[in-house]
Amino acid sequence: MSAAGVETADTTTQPPSSPGGFDTRTLVRPAVIAALLLFVVLALPSILSTYYVDAMIQVAIWSIVALGLGLLVGRVGLVSLGQAAVLALGAWVAARILFATSLPYPLVLLAAGLITMVLGTLVGLPALRLSGLYLALITLMLAGAITVVLATTNFPNGGHGFLGYNGSAVHIPQIRRPSIANTDTAFLRYSVIVAALMFLLVLAHVRTRPGRAWAAIRQSESAALAAGINTTLYKLWAFALASFVTGVAGGLLAGSSRYLYSYDFTTQESITLLAVVLMGGIFSLWGAIIAGLLLQLLPQLLNSWGVSPDWLTILFGIGVLQVLLTAPAGLVDQVPKDLARLGRLLRGLARRVAPAGGRSP
């Protein structure tokens, strides 16, 4: 219930409150978020079983990916259908650096983010001057193309040369993790902290000049252009930021799974990702966390109940249609509203039933 309360409080679409006025909400919200974060970092890893620790690591990682895509779709109005491929790029770069050097892990994450940022931006370049539909299509094709390349080059596994792939290795070394986070529980803490940093980075952008420019572009590109906003620059900026956080997520993914395989990054994965991001809610940063939970925790839950993951694919498909038709703000917006409506309904029922119950016996 407390989580639902937080979601109601956080409607990031509203303008930030003035720094001077200390009304209770401005203090309560960061406090609740900090408490939640402390709970997830300190308590949660020790409570969960190994099975769910693994799942939660993936939730943290995919929340970052969803954050990047949500930024593109929700803030700027750009739809990318190839984010899983961008994640694969980030994971590849990180794995290559991890095998080639003994750099500290945070530096590797930074490098993976920056290199992915450059590659992702280059790819978006041809479509950025076109309407959104073209960008969606070109990224869909890009996802297909990257999948093809990865199937041939494979992920680095300690081999030599630029590609670092050793096909005949009998003993394949693991991708290393940060020395302070070698166990699964420690790696979960590490991932959550990195994810929190990425959320802060995006929040810092959304709340300042680029955020306002993106909002203007989203409302009307021609009006933004007329107001003197360099729309191409800011679209590119959004693309770069989304690619950066996705690259960092790729770096975490390399460490979390220890072995990477090209068939884990399919075109279908990119489409499913867009589906959960839309379902989670694209106008609030909380939507990204819900998307991560939908994408990584729900399959594990269903799996432990013996339900086929195919049902989830169907659910996500229906979810996309439902979001586009009736609830553009996603679960983040809808669930609190529905809960409130349910509450009113129950209270109304209770009021109607109580006198009736008093009279009838």
- Residues in contact with another protein by the rule CB under 8 A: 73-74, 77, 79, 81, 126-127, 129-134, 136-138, 140-142, 144-145, 148-149, 151-152, 218, 220-222, 225, 231-232, 266-268, 271-272, 274-275, 278, 282, 308, 310-321, 324-325, 328
Q: How far is the CB of 102 from another protein (least distance, A)?
A: 30
Q: Which is nearer to another protein, 29 or 218 (CB)?
A: 218
Q: How far is the CB of 208 from another protein (least distance, A)?
A: 21
Q: How far is the CB of 327 from another protein (least distance, A)?
A: 12
What CA–CA distance (Å, rounded) separates 325 from 181? 44
Query: How many Cβ atoms sit within 10 Å of the Cβ of residue 39?
Result: 11
SS3 28: helix
SS3 281: coil
Q: How far is the CB of 280 from another protein (least distance, A)?
A: 13
Q: How far is the CB of 20 from another protein (least distance, A)?
A: 33
Q: Which is nearer to another protein, 71 or 112 (CB)?
A: 71
Counts of helices then strands in the chain (DSSP H, E):
16, 0
Q: Which is nearer to another protein, 189 or 235 (CB)?
A: 235
| Structural tokens at position 227 | 């107001």
SS3 165: coil
Q: Which is nearer to another protein, 42 or 148 (CB)?
A: 148
Residue located via tokens 């929340």? 63
Q: Which is nearer to another protein, 81 or 111 (CB)?
A: 81
Q: How far is the CB of 166 from another protein (least distance, A)?
A: 18
Residue located via tokens 């075109």? 267
SS3 328: coil
Q: Which is nearer to another protein, 55 or 323 (CB)?
A: 323
Q: CA nearest 277: which of 220, 208, 329?
A: 329
Q: How far is the CB of 17 from another protein (least distance, A)?
A: 26
Give yes or no for a contact between 97 and 111, defined as CB atoms under 8 angstroms apart: yes
| Residue 36 C-beta-side C-alpha neighbours within 13 Å | 16
DSSP state of 13: T
Q: Which is nearer to another protein, 247 or 319 (CB)?
A: 319
Q: How far is CA 292 from CA 15, 60, 278, in A?
A: 26, 7, 12
